[in-house]
């Protein structure tokens, strides 16, 4: 890999994996169309992988967005498998004639004006960057962290025992200072959220596709870790703004997704951390699950949640404890 100026990004693939978020998908695809109209020098193809939605998402894409290439899966492939299916259709990782970069975008994300061009410019300006992510924000405009450090034991602890906002918003919890975002200049990070990440084709060819052992969660973290191991870097470009209506698909099966989250985290821990670290992490998680179960019982006693909801939460905590 050279520090010489790379070939400018002029051909882009965009992949959206969707599951039962029809109205959000409309907004997502509309924002993509608007951004592409603002970027006449950028050639792009857009792919939607519908993960067996039952809300009419696939039909909506066919009717309202005929310029989108639709893959209607007969089953829910999860995030990694579904993205990989589209990436293989595009020609990755082996075909020579593929886009210069690919944007993976969640269906609950909306590109704000200039987001595409800012991410492209960041890749162009940093030839060793495999991945660029934007600055995320909630639907009401509030700041949302979109870039993180790789997990530490402190982060595992703070997941269950947040203590106070100063700690949860700090480097100790894997967050980057808001001042870096406010400065508006690209800065290197460990990994960016898969809600919106632009990935250089050359890096994908070298490292390969997403690890399909992750059904949902941590797959983008794993990908970034593999890029680092191959000598690439990852950047956040805060001048690129993207609205992220966080976790809309996941909320449909909250308890199931809680288990999926920890199954994915444990997979990541097993691949990249020493045995002693993993033993300590599991000990923290077990204590944290006990605390979460206690909070659930208290919430049911107060009438904040139903007994059925409490039972679902407790079942999820037990399942995570057995992982």
Measured CA to CA in angstroms, residue 221 lies from 100, 131, 190, 196, 296 at distances of: 22, 11, 8, 13, 30
* Same-domain status, 212 and 66: yes
* pLDDT confidence tier of residue 256, bands split at 50, 70 and 90: confident
If asked whether residues 197 and 280 sit together in one domain, one would say: no
Q: Is the link from the previous residue into 93 a cis peptide, with omega within 30 of 0?
A: yes
Mean pLDDT computed over 67-91: 95
Tokens 């007994």 belong to residue? 307
**pLDDT value of residue 284:** 98
What would the mean pLDDT of 5-20 be, rounded to a whole number?
89
Q: Does residue 313 share a domain with residue 300?
A: yes
Residue 135: strand pairing partners:
241
Domain final position from 234, 251, 268: 251
**pLDDT greater than 80 at residue 7:** no
Q: What are phi and psi of 129, to 5 degrees?
A: -85, 120
Domains of the chain: total: 2
User: What is the helix (H) or strand (E) element at residue 46, kind and residue range?
Assistant: strand 43-51
Which tokens sit at 192?
A: 């960016």
Q: Phi, psi at residue 269, to the nearest 5°?
A: -60, -45
Residue 164 domain-assigned (yes or no) = no
Same domain, 83 and 130: yes
Tokens 């967005």 sit at which residue?
A: 65
> Looking at residue 6, what is its pLDDT?
62
Does the residue 210 lie in any domain?
yes
The predicted structure's pLDDT at residue 86: 97
Do 257 and 223 have their domain in common? no
Is residue 3 pLDDT above 80, yes or no? no
| Dihedral sign of CA atoms 158, 245, 84, 112 in order | negative
In this predicted model, what pLDDT tens digit does every residue of 294-311 receive, in sequence order?
A: 999 999 999 999 999 999
Q: Is residue 162 part of a domain?
A: no
Task: Report the Cα 253 to chain-centroid distance in Å.
Answer: 18
- Predicted local confidence at residue 254, as pLDDT: 78
Instruction: Looking at the structure, tell me whether residues 36 and 56 fall in a common domain.
Output: yes
Q: Phi-psi region for residue 91, left (φ > 0), alpha (ψ -120 to 50) or beta?
A: left
Q: What is the pLDDT of residues 134-193, one digit of tens each?
A: 999 999 999 999 999 999 999 999 999 998 888 889 999 999 999 999 999 999 999 999
Residues 99 and 200 both lie in one domain: yes
Among the listed residues 170, 271, 178, the one whose alpha carbon sits nearest the alpha carbon of residue 229: 271
Q: Which structural domain, as residue segments, surrounds residue 119?
A: 11-151+169-251
Q: What's the pLDDT band for 289 if we cut at 50, 70, 90?
A: very high
41 and 114 in a common domain: yes
Would residue 5 count as lying in a domain?
no
Whether residues 272 and 242 fall in one domain = no
The dihedrals phi and psi of 141, each to the nearest 5 degrees, come to: 95, -5
| Other CB atoms within 10 A of residue 138 CB | 12
Evaluate whether residue 140 is within a structural domain. Answer: yes
- Report CA-CA distances (Å) from 186 to 96, 120, 182, 240, 279: 29, 12, 11, 10, 36
What's the chain's average pLDDT?
Answer: 93
Query: CA end-to-end span of the chain, whole Å?
Result: 40
Average pLDDT score over residue span 81-94: 94
Residues 291 and 243 in one domain: no
Grouping H, G, I as helix, E, B as strand and the rest as coil, residue 239 is strand
Helix residue spans in 39-108 (DSSP H): 57-64, 78-90
Are 309 and 300 in contact by the 8 Å Cβ rule? The answer is: yes
Inside any domain, residue 78: yes
β-pair type (69-73, 187-189): unpaired
At residue 300, the pLDDT reads 94
Partners of 40 in the beta sheet?
none
Last residue of a domain, one of 251, 272, 301: 251
Residue 66 has pLDDT above 80, yes or no: yes
Q: What average pLDDT does range 99-111 have in this prediction? A: 97
DSSP-derived letter for residue 142 is -
- Where among 236, 251, 266 does a domain terminate? 251
Task: Looking at the structure, tell me whether residues 302 and 196 fall in a common domain.
Answer: no
Distance, CA of 201 to CA of 95 (rounded, Å): 11
Instruction: Tell me, yes or no, whether 260 and 240 share the same domain.
Output: no
In a domain, 288, yes or no: yes
Residue 261: in which H helix or E strand, if any? Answer: helix 254-272
Q: What is the pTM (predicted TM-score) of this model?
A: 0.92
pLDDT tens, position by position, 229-250: 999 999 999 999 999 997 554 4
HSE-CB of 192 using CA atoms within 13 angstroms: 31
Q: Are 322 and 289 in contact (CB under 8 A)?
A: no
Instruction: Fill in the DSSP letter of residue 164.
Output: -
pLDDT band at 93 (very low <50, low <70, confident <90, very high): confident
Q: Is residue 156 part of a domain?
A: no
Q: CATH code at 71?
A: 3.90.550.10
The residue-averaged pLDDT of 58-77 equals: 96
């Amino acid at each position: 890999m050279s520090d010489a100026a790379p070939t400018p990004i002029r051909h882009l693939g965009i992949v959206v994996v969707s599951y039962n978020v029809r109205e959000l998908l409309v907004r997502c695809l509309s924002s993509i169309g608007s951004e592409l109209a603002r970027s006449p020098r950028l050639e792009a193809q857009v792919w939607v992988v519908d993960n067996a939605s039952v809300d009419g998402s696939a039909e909506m894409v066919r009717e309202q967005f005929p310029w989108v290439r639709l893959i209607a899966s007969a089953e829910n492939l999860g995030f990694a498998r579904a993205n990989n299916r589209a990436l293989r259709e595009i020609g990755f990782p082996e075909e020579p004639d593929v886009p210069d970069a690919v944007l993976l975008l969640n269906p609950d994300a909306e590109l704000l004006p200039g987001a595409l061009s800012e991410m492209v410019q960041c890749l162009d300006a940093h030839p060793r960057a495999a991945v660029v992510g934007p600055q995320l924000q909630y639907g009401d405009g509030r700041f949302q962290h979109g870039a993180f450090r790789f997990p530490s034991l402190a982060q595992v602890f703070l997941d269950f025992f947040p203590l106070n906002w100063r700690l949860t918003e700090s480097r100790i919890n894997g967050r980057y200072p808001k001042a870096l975002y406010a400065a508006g200049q690209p800065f290197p990070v460990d990994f960016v959220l898969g809600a919106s990440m632009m990935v250089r084709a050359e890096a994908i060819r070298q490292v390969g596709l997403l690890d399909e052992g992750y059904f949902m969660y941590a797959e983008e973290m794993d990908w970034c870790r593999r890029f680092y191991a191959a000598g690439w870097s990852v950047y956040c470009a805060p001048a690129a703004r993207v609205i992220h209506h966080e976790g809309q698909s996941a909320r449909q099966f909250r308890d199931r997704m809680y288990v999926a989250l920890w199954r994915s985290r444990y997979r990541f821990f097993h691949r990249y951390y020493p045995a002693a670290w993993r033993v300590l992490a599991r000990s923290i998680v077990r204590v944290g699950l006990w605390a979460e179960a206690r909070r659930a019982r208290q919430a049911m006693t107060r009438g904040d949640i139903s007994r059925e909801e409490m039972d679902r939460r407790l079942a999820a905590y037990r399942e995570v404890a057995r992982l």
